[in-house]
Each structure stands twice: as structure tokens, then as C-alpha cells.
Amino acid sequence: MTVRVTTLTVEDIEERRARIKQVVDSDDFRERQAEGVLLAREEHLLEELDDLDYLQYGRVRVR
């Protein structure tokens, strides 16, 4: 088993968060989220956003 380790700077985290927020703030995404029909990759983006919040702030924001 191989474990991949990545070092992220605060700037890396903020840049990735901004790219994800651009997707999740779109009208199409919000509509699918409200209907409960997000694609697996879209669910993954929300999880990644939570992970980034935890890495930077030590907590996850309430949505």
C-alpha cells in the first residue's frame, strides 16, 4: 500500500477553495443540490471543501 503525501501552503488551499466555490456557487449546482441529485464528483467537491476548511481552520463550516 502506498500513501501519497502532499504539502499544501495556505495559498494552495485558498486557491483550491476558490476554484471549488466557483463550481458550488453556480445556479445549476445549487439547483441539483436542492433537488438532491448531485453527481458523485459534485459530492466529492463538497467533501473536499470541508477537508480544506479543516486543514486551514481546524473545523468544518456549517452549510
SS3 59: coil
Q: What does the pLDDT profile of the chain (63 residues) look like in tens digits?
A: 898 888 889 999 999 999 999 999 999 999 999 999 999 999 999 999 999 988 888 876 665
pTM of this structure:
0.77
Q: 12, 18 in Cβ contact below 8 A?
A: no
Largest alpha-carbon pair distance within the chain? 40
Residue 41: count other Cβ atoms within 10 Å of its Cβ.
8
